[in-house]
Chain A
Amino acid sequence: MDSQVLLAERKARLAKAAALEKTDRTPVVLEMSAFSARVEKITIAKWGSDSLIQAQAMINTFEKVGGADGIDYGSLFPPLLSLLWLSKVKFAGKELPEDTLWQVAESELMTIEDYDRIIAEGYPNWMQSFFQERIGSGVFEQIMVELQKAPKIMEMWTNRGIPVLQNGIVTIPFETFCGARSFAKFVRDLYKRPDKVQAAMDAALPFMAPQGIQACKGLGNQYIWIGGWRAAGSMLSQSLWDRFVFPYYEKLIHEALDAGLTPILHFDSDWTRDLERFKVFPKGKCILELDGLTDIYKAKEILGDTMCIMGDVAASLFSLGTPDEVYKYCQKLISEIGPTGFILHSGCDIPIDAKLENVQAMVAAATGK
Chain B
Amino acid sequence: MYEEISKALAELEEDLLLDGVKNLYEKGVPVFDILAALQKGMEEVGKKFEAKDYFLSELIMSADVFKEATGLLGDAFANNDSETLGTVVMGTVKEDIHDIGKDIVVTILKCNGFNVIDLGVDVPYEKFVEAIKEHNPQIIGLSCLLTSAFDNMKGTIVAIEEAGLREGRTILIGGGPTDEKVKDYVRADGVCKNAQEAVETCKKIVGGN
Residues on A lying within 8 angstroms of B by beta carbon are 90, 97, 100-101, 103-106, 182-184, 187-188, 190-191, 233-237, 240, 273, 314-321, 351-354
Q: How far is the CB of A346 from chain B (nearest CB, A)?
A: 11
Residue contact A351 to B57, C-beta cutoff 8 Å: no
Residue contact B100 to A106, C-beta cutoff 8 Å: yes
B60 contact from A188, A233, A314, Cβ within 8 A: A188
Q: How far is the CB of B53 from chain A (nearest CB, A)?
A: 8
Residue contact B60 to A315, C-beta cutoff 8 Å: no
Find chain B residues with CB under 8 A from A188 CB: 60-61, 64
Given contacts A184-B103, A188-B64, A353-B148, contact A316 B55 (CB under 8 A): no
Report if B82 contacts A (CB, 8 A).
no
Given contacts A188-B64, A237-B58, A351-B177, contact A183 B100 (CB under 8 A): yes
Find chain B residues with CB under 8 A from A352 CB: 146-148
Report if B52 contacts A (CB, 8 A).
yes
Q: Please report the C-alpha to C-alpha distance between residue A187 and residue B104 in the assembled complex, in whole angstroms.
A: 12
- The interface size bin for chain B is 20 to 34
Within 8 A of A (CB), among B90-113: 95-100, 103-104, 107
Residue contact B100 to A184, C-beta cutoff 8 Å: yes
Q: How far is the CB of A268 from chain B (nearest CB, A)?
A: 8
Write the B64-97 contact mask toward A (1 if CB under 8 angstroms, else 0): 1000000000000000000000000000000111
Residue contact A353 to B60, C-beta cutoff 8 Å: no
B182 contact from A233, A237, A316, A354, Cβ within 8 A: A316
A236 contact from B57, B103, B194, Cβ within 8 A: B57
A237 contact from B54, B100, B146, B148, Cβ within 8 A: B54
Given contacts A103-B146, A353-B148, contact A320 B57 (CB under 8 A): no
Given contacts A101-B148, A319-B147, contact A187 B100 (CB under 8 A): no
Residue contact B97 to A105, C-beta cutoff 8 Å: yes
Most buried by B among A183, A237, A317: A237
Residue contact A315 to B100, C-beta cutoff 8 Å: no
A314 contact from B100, B179, B185, Cβ within 8 A: B179
Find chain A residues with CB under 8 A from B194 CB: 234
Q: How far is the CB of A312 from chain B (nearest CB, A)?
A: 13
Given contacts A103-B146, A320-B185, contact A190 B57 (CB under 8 A): yes
Find chain B residues with CB under 8 A from A237 CB: 54-55, 57-58
Residue contact B147 to A184, C-beta cutoff 8 Å: no
Find chain B residues with CB under 8 A from A97 CB: 95
A182 contact from B56, B100, B178, B185, Cβ within 8 A: B100
Q: Please report the C-alpha to C-alpha distance between residue A188 and residue B181 in the assembled complex, in whole angstroms.
A: 34
Report if B150 contacts A (CB, 8 A).
yes
Q: How far is the CB of B188 from chain A (nearest CB, A)?
A: 13
8 extra A-B contacts, CB within 8 A, seeds A187-B60, A188-B60: A103-B97, A105-B97, A184-B60, A233-B55, A235-B56, A318-B147, A321-B181, A352-B148
Q: How far is the CB of B179 from chain A (nearest CB, A)?
A: 5
